[in-house]
Amino acid sequence: MKEAAAGWRFMDFSKAYSELGVDAEGAIRTALGVPISVHCWQADDVQGFEVFEQAVQGGGILATGNYPGRARNLAEVRADLDQVLKLSPGPLRLNLHATYADTGGKPVARDQVGPEHFDSWIAWANHHSIGLDFNPTYFAHPLADSGFTLSSADPKVSAFWVRHGIASRHIAAHIAKGTDKGCTNNHWIPDGAKDHPVDRWGYRKRLADALDEVFAIPVAGSDDAVESKLFGLGSEDFVVGSFEFYSHYALTRKKLLCLDMGHFHPTESVADKLSALLLYHPELLLHVSRPMRWDSDHVVIFNDDLKALFEETVRGNALSKIRVALDFFDASINRLIAYTVGIRATRKAILWALLQPTAKLQELEAHGKLGEKLALLEELHTLPFGAAWDALCEEAGVPVGTSWIDQASEYGCKIQAERS
């Protein structure tokens, strides 16, 4: 550990945790080894920078709010991300959507977008020594207006989106080769119906067939994932790609399954799913989000749901079996602060879980000492976790405590406030 983290503050919390058999210094090192993939779309409210030959109305994902300073071009997105990297501890990656292609201001059909349109992103990532992940964009397009893309009954519509999915895999492979850090390529589609469809069978059969076509040819370097959802705006009654559909599809086709914390019923626990799914799936992709009564993609905070997610991960010795990515967007607050709060909260939850005396808790449970287990879990809340978090930030070379807020606000006043 750095000298700054080895003073009285480090020794104080280290002793408190060591009395419970926890190696606090080791927990910090482990927490700082988990990559977090940061989503590019918080910077510009999920607008993207796709150029159409004709104006396109709607069709996107709604980020509510009108806080000034939204990034208006790729250069501003990257400038904002440069600042985020300075304020966030631990290794990060950047998660891109296809609509953030660098086409030089020229319209490029989405089924024609290619690896060359992400070379500038690869150069940016290599400059920062971080990896890139990818997402085909199956929304915000005239051919998505019906509410169905890959599952569409119109063969021309489905074929277009199949070509886009295939193109995304070649882009992901190009990214993996260009960065030498791999590339997770996550497929989420918005397909669904507002009210009771009669032919659910047909939609799901078409989706499975279309995905099979997308994945038909092996593309080395594209590590493909599929993401489920319970419901959405315009798909309140029926989502084709449900959890049941994708959990089985991923298992039988040997794809990564993505669990988004906002894509389930509000009373469902994503944390509870890990111990069941990882008995059968070799890995999982987690989209860390915060629903507010529904999939509202609020900024992630250090709350019970987030802590439970990583407690279950650590208790199952499964940190090496999950990939952590963020997915939220809030246009009502300073976007740089939104990014940094979410990243730091996620890293904080990982550390929180690693600092628990898991072996001792499991031993108490195994011997039927459930009262003692409950009591110990309660006492953990008053251990000097804040000091451990400070030490992690010091070790990572990022601002400790609240000092980062002033830096983020200053950037907002100097840079973001000038954007009209």
Tokens of 295: 């999939």
Q: Helix or strand or coil: residue 187?
A: strand
Largest Cα–Cα separation, the chain: 68
Catalytic site residue 263? yes
The alpha carbon of 165 is separated from its chain's Cα centroid by a whole number of angstroms, namely 19
Secondary structure letter of residue 68 according to DSSP: S
Catalytic-residue membership of 297: yes
**Range list of β-strands (E), 261-400:** 284-288, 322-326
Backbone angles phi, psi at 116, to 5 degrees: -65, -20
The two structure tokens encoding residue 162: 């199949």
- 260 belongs to the catalytic site: yes
Catalytic-role residue among 174, 255, 263, 348: 263
Respond yes or no: is residue 97 known to be catalytic. Answer: no
Active site residue 187: no
296: left (phi over 0), alpha (psi -120 to 50) or beta: alpha
Active-site residue identified among 260, 311, 312, 330: 260
**Which structure tokens are listed for 210?**
């279309």
Q: How far apart are alpha carbons 414 and 390 in whole angstroms?
A: 28
Query: Among the options 25, 191, 227, 394, which is catalytic?
Result: 227
The Cα 99–Cα 135 span in angstroms is: 9
Return the ∠ at Cα 142 (arms to 141 and 148), rounded to 5°: 85
Residues 191 and 207: their CA atoms lie apart, in Å, by 9
- From the list 41, 121, 161, 188, the catalytic residue is 188
Residue 327 catalytic? yes
Nearest to 251 by CA among 274, 277, 272: 277
The residue annotated as part of the active site, out of 25, 327, 330, 394, is 327
Q: Which residues pair with 227 in a beta bridge?
A: 258
Q: Exactly one of 25, 44, 297, 312 is catalytic; name it.
A: 297
CA distance 413 to 98: 30
Closest Cα partner for 135 from 327, 393, 290, 314? 327
Rounded distance, CA 410 to CA 415, Å? Answer: 8
Name the catalytic one among 287, 307, 348, 373. Answer: 287
Of 174, 229, 255, 348, catalytic:
229
Q: What is the dihedral of CA 380, 359, 274, 258, to 10 degrees?
A: 80
Catalytic site residue 188?
yes
- Catalytic residue chosen out of the listed positions 295, 311, 394, 395: 295
Q: Are strands 92-97 and 184-187 parallel, antiparallel or unpaired?
A: unpaired
What one-letter code names the amino acid at 282?
P
Residue 390 annotated as catalytic: no
Known active-site residue 372 = no
Taking the CB of residue 153, how many other CB atoms lie within 10 A of it? Answer: 12
Give the list of residues 6+ apart from residue 163 with CB closer than 8 angstroms, or none.
Answer: 111
With tokens 């002033």, the residue in question is 406
Positions marked active-site: 188, 227, 229, 260, 263, 287, 295, 297, 327
